[in-house]
């Protein structure tokens, strides 16, 4: 009885080893060996970050609130640095900024981010009856959105730009910077080129509608300044755009 | 398609066999057949080709006194890691070493090392001496299979009595050992890696030793800096920088001198300028620029003057790399056919030809191996992730290096042509890794912040 069960165990081990050898080899070929795994007890860190408001005027302060789990090292960039596992701090960004919290721990690392948009001009919040130029700009100037890997204008982008052109015609003193943005797919280098084509496509359409080229500059940020950082189509679409910023 | 897949599989089986000949024998026995056709797809990187690597023992270096002891520990650890990571020697476990360890040639008993259980072919040994503030490593490499012991290498390495210099001397000794035992391969233990990190808040250019030590920030541009590229003579790094100028900002080419440790001037061009690449003699730079029209490849002199346009289509062409051996061809990324994929042209812009791939998808981030024979790149196939591949440029045969381990992008060759540095998200965040050019021995070099776009120094 005892001897038989031992034999069974040996047999099973043998077969398992054999299966591992064959199966393992066929499947894993070519793949990089897995990353060094952390000790079993170490859990993957998590981190969240929120802002009291995501849209401010210059000089306004925003409270960042964060919390994390399983992190031994937590930092917030730019400008905040290393912080406690959870807490709050006040920041006063002079320009639109994406704050990113990076958590590192024995179980790996995680990031979360929040973007604070700062209105371009130093105008005080406009009275409700007579909205200021920044408010008007926000209400009337519409960004153009693009398909994956494309820089030609869709129908919705044309109608958005047509409305933008009407507004720019009504305020001939306004100048704009058109920023080309891309989603996270594709290489950094290729996206810098693609982003510029998007900004130029928007500019060229506005030129056709009679807006003078010397009122517009273009710049490509590629995938360097995303509006959101999730890896899904909703976010990717948000990032594939020509974005209008009021210039001085 | 099916045929391609089968071929890929047979190739990768062979690749695995490169790592372990015994496993290969087992596979042949198990599968019954080894496809003869696959033998033509044999892929040589010089990695793990022989199973009979030199068995090398590395003795603790004698420390002259207590102050030298911490430096000896650093020296030994760095030397051991360098030799292990070179992939060309088999290190003998210290548990097999004899009780008495020589620190100078007169004390060596070769048979103690060549006999079982050590069975060493070679022994590295010596001593560290501190004289005031200077450090000397008296280093020896002996063939212990010769009954009297034959000196292969005897050299004194000198530096300051600091941990940093103990590390440097160990790298130099490791490179000399590797050159002797590999028949002249350039060692990489003294090389550096430039990369982009956001640890200081903005994306700036950083430097580190090839093993991840000494990570430090190089530039302080204060905006966004991307795509560092070493000049072939090691004295400058060209990169993409976002430089504000008269109320506007745009991507420009920046130059940093690693000799004078400051930015040196480079002309500002209209539009977006990015992804610089040096010609092998360092006399020219190629990069993407929209200064002369569409987003195409241009070439300038090394100081940025005399811009000429090489590509002329209404599309994006970027990420140029020169054939490092001849300087006569440039491979680049272009979306002229729809998706961004690889193209090859002569360095004057003539004879543009698409590099055909057996599947669809983004093909980006080309890096040309130092011997001119192989191209490493990132490929996002329709089904999946970004993974790294190597192509033999003449036969166009492919080897997949990464799979099912996050996004893997931006490979860059080490000067030995046997290692690659790249960026990967396999731990959850973007970090810098190295591996052997057959995909084995991945090693993480960065751990804090987000790190990307590594470029291996040419020496």
A124 domain-assigned: no
DSSP string covering A175-200: EEEEEEE--SSS-HHHHHHHHHHHHH
Closest Cβ–Cβ partner in B224, B288, B426 for A224: B224
Residues of A in contact with B251 (CB under 8 A): 192, 219-220
Inter-axis angle of helices B21-31 and A2-28, to 10 degrees?
100
> For the segment A67-88, what is each residue's pLDDT rounded down to a tens digit?
888 888 888 888 787 788 888 8
Q: Rounded CA gap, A72 and A45, in Å?
A: 9
Q: Which residue has the tokens 């191996």?
A: B369
| Residue of higher predicted confidence among B243 and A189 | A189
B403 CA: distance to closest CA in chain A (Å): 5
Rounded CA gap, A146 and A152, in Å? 7
| Mean pLDDT, residues B238-247 | 90
Count CB-CB contacts under 10 A for residue B32.
Answer: 7
Query: Tokens 């590509």 sit at which residue?
Result: B311
Average pLDDT over residues B364-376: 97
Judged by CB atoms closer than 8 Å, whether chains meet at B274 and A189 is answered as yes
pLDDT of B179 over the 50 cut: yes
At residue B448, what are phi and psi to the nearest 5 degrees? -115, 145
B251 to A33: CB separation less than 8 angstroms, yes or no: no
Distance CA A27, CA B258 (A): 45
Residues A148 and A242 in one domain: yes
A37, pLDDT greater than 50: no
B391-408: b or e for each residue (b if 16 or more CB lie within 10 Å)? bbbeeebbbbbbbebbbb
Reported as a single tens digit per residue, the pLDDT across A228-243 is: 999 899 999 999 999 9
pLDDT band at A27 (very low <50, low <70, confident <90, very high): very low
Please tell me chain A's helix, strand, coil percentages from 3-state DSSP, rounded to the nearest 5: 35, 30, 40
Q: Which residues share a beta bridge with B432?
A: B423
Give domain status of residue A243, yes or no.
yes
Instruction: Say whether both A170 and A238 belong to one domain.
Output: yes
Residue A178 lies in a domain: yes
Q: Which regions of chain B carry the CATH code 2.120.10.30?
A: 192-456
A3: pLDDT strictly greater than 70: no
Task: Calculate mean pLDDT across residues B330-336.
Answer: 97
- Number of inter-chain CB pairs under 8 A, A vs B: 168
d(CA A19, CA B301): 59
Q: Stretch B308-330: mean pLDDT, rounded?
A: 96
Which residues in chain A are contacts of B48 at CB distance < 8 A?
A: none
The closest CB to that of A217, out of B248, B272, B319, belongs to: B248
- CATH architecture of structural domain B54-181: 3-Layer(aba) Sandwich (3.40)
Instruction: Give me the CATH number covering residue A94.
Output: 2.60.40.2470
Q: Is B276 helix (H, G, I), strand (E, B) or coil?
A: strand
Nearest to B405 among A32, A190, A197 (CB): A32
Whether B8 shows a pLDDT value over 90: the answer reads no
Look at B440 and A33 and tell me if their CB atoms are within 8 Å: yes
Is the predicted pLDDT of residue A125 greater than 50, yes or no? no
**Is residue A30 scored above 80 in pLDDT?**
no
User: Burial of B69 by CB count in 10 Å (0-12 exposed, 13-18 middle, 19+ buried)?
Assistant: exposed
The H-assigned helical ranges of B235-328 are none
Claim to verify: residue A7 and residue A82 sit in the same structural domain:
no
- Chain A residues touching residue B428 (CB < 8 angstroms): 44, 108-110
Chain B residues whose CB is inside 8 A of the A29 CB are 9, 12-13, 15-16
Q: Given A91, A118, A145, which residue is the final one in a domain?
A: A118
pLDDT mean over B244-263: 93
DSSP-assigned letters across all residues of A206-217: HHHTT--GGGEE
Best of B48, B272, B319, B363 to substitute, by most chain A Cβ atoms within 10 angstroms, is B272
Indicate yes or no: CB of A44 within 8 angstroms of CB of B428. Answer: yes
Q: Is the pLDDT of residue B17 over 50?
A: no
Query: What distance in Å separates the CA atoms of residue B311 and residue B334, rounded to the nearest whole number?
Result: 10
**Structural domain boundaries, residue A114:** 46-118
Write down the pLDDT at residue A177: 96
Contact B171, B430 (CB under 8 A): no
Mean pLDDT score, B69-73:
93
CATH number at residue A159: 3.30.1330.60
Position A39 in a domain: no
What's the CATH fold of domain B192-456?
Neuraminidase (2.120.10)
Give the percent of chain A with pLDDT over 90: 44
A76 and A110 in a common domain: yes
Shared domain check, A138 and A59? no
Task: Tell me what the mean pLDDT of segment B434-458 comes to.
Answer: 96
Listed in order, the ranges of chain B carrying CATH 3.40.50.10070 are 54-181
> Rounded to an integer, what is the distance from CA B172 to the centroid of its chain?
17
């Amino acid at each position: 009885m005892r001897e038989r069960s031992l034999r069974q165990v040996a047999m099973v081990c043998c077969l398992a080893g054999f299966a591992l050898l064959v199966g393992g080899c066929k499947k894993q070929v070519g793949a990089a060996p897995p990353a060094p795994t952390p000790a079993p007890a170490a859990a993957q860190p998590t981190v969240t970050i929120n802002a009291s408001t995501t849209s401010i005027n210059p000089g306004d302060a925003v409270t960042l609130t964060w919390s994390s789990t399983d992190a031994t090292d937590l930092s917030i960039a730019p400008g905040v640095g290393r912080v406690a596992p959870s807490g709050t701090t006040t920041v006063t960004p002079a320009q639109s900024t994406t704050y990113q919290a990076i958590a590192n721990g024995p179980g790996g690392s995680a990031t979360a981010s929040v973007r604070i948009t700062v209105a371009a001009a130093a105008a005080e919040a406009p009275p409700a009856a007579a909205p200021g130029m920044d408010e008007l700009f926000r209400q009337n100037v519409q960004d153009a959105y693009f398909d994956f890997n494309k820089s030609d204008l869709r129908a919705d982008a044309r109608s958005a730009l047509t409305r933008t052109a009407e507004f720019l015609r009504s305020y001939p003193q306004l100048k704009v910077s058109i920023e080309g943005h891309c989603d996270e797919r594709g290489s950094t280098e290729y996206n810098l080129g693609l982003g510029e084509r998007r900004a130029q496509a928007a500019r060229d359409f506005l030129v056709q509608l009679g807006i003078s080229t010397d009122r517009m500059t273009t710049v490509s940020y590629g995938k360097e300044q995303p509006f959101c950082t999730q890896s899904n189509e909703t976010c990717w679409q948000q990032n594939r755009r020509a974005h209008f910023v009021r210039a001085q | 398609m099916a045929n391609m897949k089968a071929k890929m599989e047979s190739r990768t089986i062979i690749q695995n066999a490169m790592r372990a000949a015994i496993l290969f024998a087992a596979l042949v026995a198990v599968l019954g057949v080894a496809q003869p056709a696959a033998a033509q797809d044999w892929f040589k990187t010089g990695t793990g080709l022989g199973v009979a690597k030199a068995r090398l023992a590395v003795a603790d270096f004698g420390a002259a006194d207590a102050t030298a002891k911490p430096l000896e520990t650093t020296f030994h650890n760095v030397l051991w890691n360098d030799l292990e990571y070179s992939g060309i020697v088999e290190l003998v476990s210290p548990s097999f070493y004899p009780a008495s360890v020589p620190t100078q040639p007169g004390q060596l008993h070769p048979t103690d090392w060549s006999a079982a259980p050590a069975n060493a072919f070679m022994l590295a040994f010596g001593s560290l001496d501190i004289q005031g503030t200077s450090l000397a490593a008296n280093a020896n490499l002996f063939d212990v299979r010769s009954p009297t012991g034959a000196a292969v290498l005897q050299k004194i390495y000198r530096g300051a009595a600091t941990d940093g210099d103990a590390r440097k001397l160990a790298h130099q000794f490791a490179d000399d050992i590797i050159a002797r035992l590999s028949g002249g391969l350039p060692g990489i233990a003294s090389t550096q890696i430039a990369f982009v990190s956001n640890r200081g808040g903005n994306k700036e250019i950083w430097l580190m030793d090839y093993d991840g030590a000494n990570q430090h920030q190089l530039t302080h541009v204060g905006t966004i800096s991307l795509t560092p590229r070493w000049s072939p003579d090691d004295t400058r790094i060209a990169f993409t920088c976002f430089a504000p100028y008269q109320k506007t900002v745009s991507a420009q080419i920046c130059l940093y001198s690693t000799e004078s440790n400051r930015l040196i001037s480079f002309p500002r061009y209209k539009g977006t300028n990015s992804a610089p690449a040096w010609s092998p003699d360092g006399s020219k730079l190629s990069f993407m620029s929209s200064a002369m029209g569409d987003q195409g490849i241009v070439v300038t002199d090394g100081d940025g003057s005399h811009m000429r346009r090489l590509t002329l289509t209404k599309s994006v062409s970027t990420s140029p790399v020169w054939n490092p051996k001849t300087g006569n061809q440039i491979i680049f990324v272009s979306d002229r056919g729809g998706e961004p994929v690889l193209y090859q042209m002569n360095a004057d812009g003539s004879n543009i030809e698409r590099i055909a791939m057996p599947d669809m998808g983004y093909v980006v981030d080309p890096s040309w191996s130092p011997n001119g024979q192989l191209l490493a790149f990132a490929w996002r196939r329709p089904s999946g992730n970004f993974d790294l591949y190597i192509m033999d440029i003449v036969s166009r045969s492919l080897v997949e290096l990464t799979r099912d381990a996050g996004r893997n992008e931006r490979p860059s060759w080490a000067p030995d042509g046997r290692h690659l540095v790249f960026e990967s998200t396999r731990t959850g965040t973007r970090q810098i890794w190295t591996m052997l050019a057959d995909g084995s021995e991945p090693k993480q070099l960065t751990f804090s912040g987000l790190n990307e776009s590594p470029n291996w120094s040419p020496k």
